[in-house]
Structure 1
């Protein structure tokens, strides 16, 4: 007997799963039906933006969503699935699932590229701008160089404004660069889903 949420093996005496806390369903034997259906279980962790597409992909592979848990930090969600062990053409489905997982990881990486370079540039320029602004304050308050301090301080303030402009422009250019690759990955996912449906229908 296994937990319907996390797949942990149970002794049969528990009322809740000791691993995830899910209430244990006691199977009822009915005439002409087996007492227990055997399942296999899978877990995957994806970014919150990709939860829906991941669930759709796994459902096309015959998986059933049994639980989801959003991380308090990191912007990710852990998904739990189950599928009957009696499913046919499992080897083909496993191969398609690996392709889907690779494509989903690729999309997540490409989404991250939209802001990665912009963040690095903005942080670098922000540090320089802050240092310049600090020098300006020192000129004014410590070294009694009021005119020079004002000029240097204005340069630092302009640099701080430039950080925001640089971030936005870099994000826009990176988004334009990676968007075609993201769309191509989604097209490949759609093709993989169609292939999985064909395999399940042939079972």
Structure 2
């Protein structure tokens, strides 16, 4: 008669977490969430099937419900998520002011060009006014590209140290989480 082995057959209850994140952060989450006791759920959809429109991915995690230091790990995980949001906000802020400035210049150039068109179609045509308004009009159409690039570069130089500080904080939070698991 065959004996039934009970070794290794303990039931482990898991809690599950589904996270929709930007595709560019997927590796960071997959590498960092194990520091908070989470592991990728092997029963979830495979990676190719979980891509969402808009550059988002859905990651599925699980962790043991009886994990030690669960409250502190959850607090560190929230801190990690907050750091990621702050990094995203800083990245978006690189182009915000530059976009606004470029659009204002482009609209001003368009207004000058409209004035130039109205000047040339007036009765009698005002050619001198047309030329005077056309020059800033063309400049207002060409300059936004250069203004945008310069402003983004300047803002990126100011923002990059802040992003690096946030990344250091991320790594510190993960290290603290990993220390709690051991």
TM-score band, normalised by shorter chain: 0.7 to 0.9
Query: Among residues 118, 131, 136, which one is paired with 1:138 in the alignment?
Result: 118
Structure 1 stretch 33-42 or stretch 186-195: which is displaced more? 33-42
Cα deviation for residue 54 of structure 1 reads 2.3
Deviation, structure 1 residue 36 = 5.7
Aligned residue number for residue 186 of structure 1? 167
Counterparts of 1:53 and 1:145 in 2: how far apart (Å)?
Answer: 62
* 2:145 aligned residue: 164
Pairing partner for 1:60 from 25, 28, 35: 35
SS at match of 1:86: coil
Alignment counterpart, residue 153 of structure 1, candidates 134, 153, 176: 134
Structure 2 unaligned residues grouped into runs of 5+:
none
166-175 or 150-159, which moves further after superposition?
A: 150-159
- The corresponding residue for 1:18 is none
Superposed CA offset, 1:175-195 (max 9, x none): 011111100010111111111
Shift of 1:31: 4.3
Q: Which residue does 1:99 correspond to in 2? A: 79
RMSD across aligned positions (CA): 2.2
- Work out the number of aligned pairs and report it: 171
Which range moved further: 119-128 or 142-151? 142-151
* Greater relative CO (CA pairs within 8 A, separation 6+): 2
| Higher share in helix | 2
Deviates more, 1:185-194 or 1:145-154: 145-154
Matched, 1:198 2:167: no
The normalised TM-score by structure 1 is 0.75
Indicate if the aligned counterparts of 1:63 and 1:82 stay in contact, CA closer than 8 A.
yes
Question: Could you give the per-residue CA deviations for residues 7-26 of structure 1, whole angstroms, max 9, x where no partner exists?
Answer: xxxxxxxxxxxxxxxxxxxx
- After TM superposition, the score normalised by the length of structure 2 is 0.82
